[in-house]
Amino acid sequence: MPVVPGYHGEDQDEASLTEIAARLGFPLLIKAAAGGGGKGMRIVREAGAFAEALAGARREAEAAFGDGRVLLERYLERPRHIEIQVFADRAWNTVHLFERDCSIQRRYQKIIEEAPAFGFDPALRAEMGAAAVRAARAVGYVGAGTVEFIFENGAFYFMEMNTRLQVEHPVTEMITGLDLVEWQLRVAAGESLPWRQEALAPRGHAIEVRIYAEDPERGFLPASGVIRHLREPPLTDGIRLDSGVAEGDRVGIHYDPMIAKLIAWGETRDQARTRLLGALGAYEIGGLKTNLRLLEAILAHPDFATAPPDTGFIARHPELLTPPPQELPRAAWRQRRSPFSIRARRGRARSPHGGVIPTPRGRRMMSSVPAGRRGCGLR
């Protein structure tokens, strides 16, 4: 499995790491050995900045994971973050469900994901998928998992494997017509996967945006407060919403600030993008800061529409962080329900693969709406 050149050893002495960094060359990346999500990560562009960056990465890694050990890797300047969804059962059947591009990020965390990756040809898709399957088989993996790669200039490098369903799994469900949550439970119960790799094929394109209670203009500082006004977009054809809040709910400071995921499917990437822009334009949240307008500005940007994104997209377009304000109706400033309401919106969305998708009852921060199982993702 190819990996980015770097150091992943046990010697964590500062002098040793400084010497290794000099041999690797700059720029390089310091990463927490015990976790991810951008915690304990620093980009170092010159030798003189290494000591301070190392100390900061160690402090953050210790606070987040209870482990201050770090890795050193050569820093890629304009990479794409590509991950492969894999599934395996106890009978040694292992398949991949194609790739997702998770390159639009802030603070090293994903905010927009899409499947399949823009501009990938079938040969590259098959090569990366086969590498992910080999990784899963090498450790005897069972269930749903994600093998993550960094990709630049036609080459891909292994980063990590997440042994769970990811936040962004709905885009895979939308292009395959498969319910990944259902199959995770079936495999856990001992059932075998009903598909072989040659029978699987993606259909169309899906894009997901993560809606956060945060302030992009202030370094994505998490926001808290009461949702005094909430108008969700209509669930028209190709639109799916996984939401964890209702009007009158209070968003606190003790949990991740993501409050919903909005997903659009289309026959083409541009159709999915246009549908998602329309749904975002109809989404209204009042009472606290969100990233709704930033997401809308990214999707509307010509560079996103016409070229494959990379992880430096937001840094190269700081103007996106201050989009024009959106006017909300007077109802946005009145609290209509108790902040302790536990009622959540219920609805029905249409699957791109046929049929109706029921929105589950109750409040689940990471609700999973089945994407239909009619075989349009199979051939």
Active site residues: 164
CA–CA separation, 97 vs 295, rounded Å? 26
Q: How far is CA 108 from CA 54, 105, 162, 253, 280, in A?
A: 17, 6, 16, 20, 23
Q: Which of 38, 89, 84, 90 is nearest to 61 (CA)?
A: 38
Asked whether the beta carbons of 357 and 347 are under 8 A apart, the reply is: no
Q: Which of 265, 336, 309 is nearest to 115 (CA)?
A: 265
For residue 103 the two structure tokens come to 């390159």
Asked whether the beta carbons of 88 and 136 are under 8 A apart, the reply is: yes
For residue 230 the two structure tokens come to 């909430």
For residue 8 the two structure tokens come to 């992943």
CA–CA separation, 265 vs 300, rounded Å? 16
Place of tokens 């108008």: 231
